[in-house]
Amino acid sequence: MVQYIKKGHAFVVPSSPSRPHEIVVPRSQTAWLLEQPDRILSAQQAQKDALYSDYQFVGEDDHFSVQTIHRNLARHLPGLIPGVQEEIQDAIDKIFGKDTENWKSINLFEAWLGIIPQTTNRVIVSRPLCRDKEFLDSQVAFADAVVRNSIIFNMFPRVLLPLVAPFFVLSNWWHWRRSYLRSKDVIEERLRAMERKISGVDPSYEPPEDMVTWLIRQAYADNLKSELDPVKISKRLLPIEFAAIHTTVMAGHNLLLDLFSSDPKLGYLDAIREETARVLAESGSTFWTKQSLSRLYRTDSAIKESLRLSHMARALTHRKVAAPEGITNAAEGWHAPHGAYLMLDLAGTHRDPDLYPDPDRYNAFRFSRVREEWEASRKEGAAADSDEELRIMRLGMVTTSPEYLPFSHGRHAW
């Protein structure tokens, strides 16, 4: 089933009828893969092909949406944290209840589906929509349709997709329409208010910092009047909703399964509870901040270890050969033609014993012990070492590397 390329380390794995075989690039060639310009190896084209975006996202691509959130999310994140915390507390209270005396049966995956859409939509559309059940249900259903259709489309030769895809994506259009009808008034009012602010009629107006505002603001900045349309804005939200909901739900679900299935004698849950209570108390606030969250070493490590071990896909780093002449890897002596797919092996990397001792065991504090020891040494007056500090900082959950690929890696990491 596996065909080696000229006895090199890269190899070809069979793919579905609608896609060419994929070339698995070895870890030694990670830098070579990620350094290629988009005109040679395209991450965007690989993603569009994987999700069949030309059919699935109701006639709009994700370029403007992704560009907008990259420009805005990081710099507004500190101000968004209190609102996100409010939604987490509200969602957990509704799903788990407040009864501390009686047992209650919970479907863990369904519980996460109740928490994540409400929480992420505080950032995407703010209140009241982030608590509108019909709006949230339609967004979850749209994401479900994209996943289901992607699996179905994989079974068809690509030449047949123009015939079969329009039938299957009717559900996508239906779910988008439901979400649009719930969000239409909110988007139209935001457009009017932003127009009054920008024109100087109401300069004191401060819009909520969310994806809707960012899309409108970006459209004005780029002089794209066609983007100032409630229908188009509602469609621009879809790729962000899709990306935010399912991956986060699966990550949270796997995290709790990993923690709950670990030996209680290891004390993972008690240690995480102690850390969160202590750090929040030391911050002197009832709300989390970016600074206090960054000190949750054990919690961060538990999440990172779950992402390492309980990965949701065999690979998340894909590139499509966009150059008409193809691409040649001189180090290993193989050539990939135009239209071929290249990938990095996430699962093999995350379970490599040369990188992670005892790689098939969930070790919640695999990454935090080093960080806690380093912080303790700093408090005791140890000499500062900038290289060591940089290495310690890279142990955080959100920092990818050739050895840690849950969000891909490189400039297209998500």
Q: Which of 36, 100, 66 is nearest to 319 (CA)?
A: 36
How far apart CA 200 and CA 225 sit, in angstroms, is: 18
pLDDT of residue 218: 95
Mean pLDDT of all residues belonging to the chain: 90
Query: How far apart are the C-alpha atoms of 111 and 65, rounded to whole Å?
Result: 28
Say what the pLDDT of residue 372 is: 82
Q: What local confidence, expressed as pLDDT, does residue 388 receive?
A: 67
In the chain (414 residues long), the average pLDDT of successive 10-residue segments reads: 45 72 89 93 92 93 91 92 95 92 92 96 96 97 96 91 96 97 97 95 94 96 95 96 92 96 96 95 88 93 96 88 94 91 91 94 93 75 66 80 83 68
Structure confidence at residue 5 (pLDDT): 40
Backbone angles phi, psi at 321, to 5 degrees: -70, 110
Half-sphere exposure of 197 (CA within 13 A, CB side): 14
Q: Give residue 381's pLDDT.
A: 65
Residue 245: which of 141, 154, 174 has the closest Cα? Answer: 141
Q: Which amino acid is at 228?
A: L
Backbone angles phi, psi at 367, to 5 degrees: -100, -20
Peptide bond into 203 cis (omega under 30): no
What distance in Å separates the CA atoms of residue 343 and residue 338, rounded to the nearest whole number?
A: 15
Give residue 400's pLDDT. 85
Predicted local confidence at residue 4, as pLDDT: 38
Report pLDDT for 413. Answer: 66
**Digit-coded pLDDT (tens) for 91-150:** 999 999 999 899 999 999 999 999 999 999 999 999 999 999 999 999 999 999 999 999
* Model pLDDT, residue 385: 65
